[in-house]
């Protein structure tokens, strides 16, 4: 039998949460990161909250982040709670602007930083089996058509909303709503791009639009999966027809000379965007970080911040655990409770501001009993 590869921590998932964990722990312990994708996936096009500046500085990454050249986001325009657009800028935010990320570049950069700090990256790779072996774990990892045994003292689920490891250990995700998102990418006319993020509420959900690198733009519609409007989110032609009924956003897009991409792969997408939380978020010899632990509504713009924060907090807990502290992992998981509660309070306040369509299911659900668990889900 092949001798197992030895690691102190094996991380499944090389998104922002997994790489933040790896780059903080790798200077102290042997870290192996696996991802089933060779490179970062195509994503909708996300914004990074201004407060991420403090986290990146704590990790010694602020100057390097700036050198990556992501576009600053100086504010947003929202049509929310009334028909008139309201603009808010980040001039008075002590953390400075937020950022319109080039998500592929951001994820690829974090992978490189983790590797430069000593983490081993194995991609594409995924665990086929995971078994307890003494105080640690024995994994069979599939990579490039081969099966490699790996022995780890600690496992980290950084596999996103699917929580691929934690689910094997019996942890369950509590789902609070049925939010889904359909989006289309396109291009703005040269010299006419606006740097603002746009949000607009409508009777069955809400719209989001933001600039992307190289003059491109995303336009996204959010609604609940069980509502008829979800059919429009799934199909890009229907999504664009629906967009024309959304007056302020349509006018803004026209002013930018926005043209949606033609037919074909990469034109748009559809995905789950509900709030959810994993329970428990740690167990004997494992913990979960990022979306694998807490899935946020995109309205909050907090998902990547949370991925970075939990990656850093989990690395500190992992160091204590590997150094013999028996309470380190459970303390880490307990620290997620106030994050979840603060998130819920903020989201409730935001949805509560929009009262024009209280008779419509999308809004009445959020106003009457916001974020009560729908049940155990994915
Ligand atoms: C529609 C939408 C809009 C959003 N907008 C924003 C926004 O504006 N701002 C913001 O901050 N956040 C936003 N988010 C949230 C943000 O995308 C996530 O919070 C963030 O990507 C979480 O990072 P992560 O590392 O936890 O997970 P992910 O980025 O999902 O990374 C998980 C990684 O695990 C890998 N993986 C999964 N399963 C396996 C397996 N079995 N084996 C090996 N590898 C595996 C995947 O390939 C992937 O690379 C949005 C989300 C959605 C759905």
Q: Per-residue pLDDT for the chain (378 aa), expressed as one digit of tens each?
A: 689 999 999 999 999 999 999 999 999 999 999 999 998 777 787 899 999 999 999 999 999 999 999 999 988 999 999 999 999 887 778 888 999 999 999 999 999 999 999 999 999 999 999 999 999 999 999 999 999 999 999 999 999 999 999 999 999 999 999 999 999 999 999 999 888 899 999 999 999 999 998 899 999 999 999 999 999 999 999 999 999 988 899 999 999 999 999 765 557 899 999 999 999 999 999 999 999 999 999 999 999 999 999 999 999 999 999 999 999 999 999 999 999 999 999 999 999 999 999 999 999 999 986 555 554 443
Q: How far, in Å, is the centroid of ligand 1 from the Cα of 291?
A: 6
| Mutational test site, ligand 1, from 20, 34, 35, max ligand atoms within 8 Å of CB | 35
* Closest by Cα among 308, 306, 313 to 287: 313
* Domain 179-272 sits in CATH 3.30.9.100: yes
Count of CB atoms situated within 10 Å of the CB of 168: 15
* Closest by Cα among 367, 372, 369, 371 to 201: 367
Ligand 1 atom nearest residue 37's Cα: 47
Q: How far, in Å, is the centroid of ligand 1 from the Cα of 257?
A: 30
Q: Which CATH number applies to 5-46+101-176+274-342: 1.10.150.570, 3.90.1150.10, 3.30.420.40, 3.50.50.60?
A: 3.50.50.60
Ligand 1 atom nearest residue 43's Cα: 17
- Let me know: does 126 contact 141? Beta carbons within 8 Å: yes
Residues in contact with ligand 1 by the CB-under-6-Å rule are 12-18, 34-37, 44, 46-48, 126, 158-160, 162, 164, 181, 271, 273, 290-292, 298, 301-305, 307
Ligand 1 atom nearest residue 41's Cα: 49
- Let me know: does 32 contact 9? Beta carbons within 8 Å: yes
- Give the residue extent of every domain in the chain: 5-46+101-176+274-342, 179-272
């Amino acid at each position: 039998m092949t001798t197992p590869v030895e690691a102190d921590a094996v991380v499944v998932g090389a998104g922002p949460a997994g790489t933040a964990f790896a780059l903080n722990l790798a200077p102290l312990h042997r870290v192996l990161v696996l991802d089933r994708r060779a490179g970062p996936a195509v994503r909708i096009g996300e914004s990074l909250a201004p407060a991420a500046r403090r986290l990146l500085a704590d990790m010694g990454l602020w100057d390097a982040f700036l050198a990556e050249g992501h576009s600053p986001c100086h504010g947003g325009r929202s049509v929310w709670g009334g028909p008139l657009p309201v603009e808010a800028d980040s001039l008075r935010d002590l953390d400075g602007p937020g950022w319109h990320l080039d998500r592929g570049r951001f994820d690829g950069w974090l992978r490189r930083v983790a590797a430069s700090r000593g983490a081993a990256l194995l991609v594409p790779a995924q665990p086929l089996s995971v078994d307890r072996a003494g105080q640690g774990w024995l994994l069979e990892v599939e990579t490039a058509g081969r099966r490699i045994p790996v022995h780890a003292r600690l496992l980290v689920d950084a596999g996103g909303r699917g929580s691929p490891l934690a689910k094997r250990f019996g942890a369950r995700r509590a789902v609070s709503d049925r939010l889904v998102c359909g989006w289309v990418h396109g291009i703005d006319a040269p010299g006419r791009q606006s740097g603002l993020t746009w949000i607009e509420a409508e009777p069955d959900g809400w719209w989001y639009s933001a600039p992307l690198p190289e003059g491109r733009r995303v336009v996204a519609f959010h609604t609940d999966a069980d509502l008829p409007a979800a059919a429009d989110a799934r199909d890009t032609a229907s999504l664009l027809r629906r967009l024309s009924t959304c007056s302020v956003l349509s006018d803004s897009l026209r002013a930018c000379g926005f043209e949606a991409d033609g037919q074909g792969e990469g034109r748009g997408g559809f995905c789950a965007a509900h709030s959810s939380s994993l329970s428990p978020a740690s167990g004997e010899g494992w913990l979960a970080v990022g979306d694998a632990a807490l899935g946020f509504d995109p309205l909050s713009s907090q998902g990547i911040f949370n991925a970075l924060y939990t990656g850093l907090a989990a690395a500190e807990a992992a160091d204590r655990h590997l150094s013999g502290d028996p309470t380190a992992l459970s303390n880490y998981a307990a620290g997620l409770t106030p994050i979840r509660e603060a998130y819920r309070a903020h989201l409730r306040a935001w949805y509560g501001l929009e009262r024009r369509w209280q008779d419509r299911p999308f809004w009445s659900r959020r106003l009457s009993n916001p974020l009560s668990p729908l049940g155990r889900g994915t």
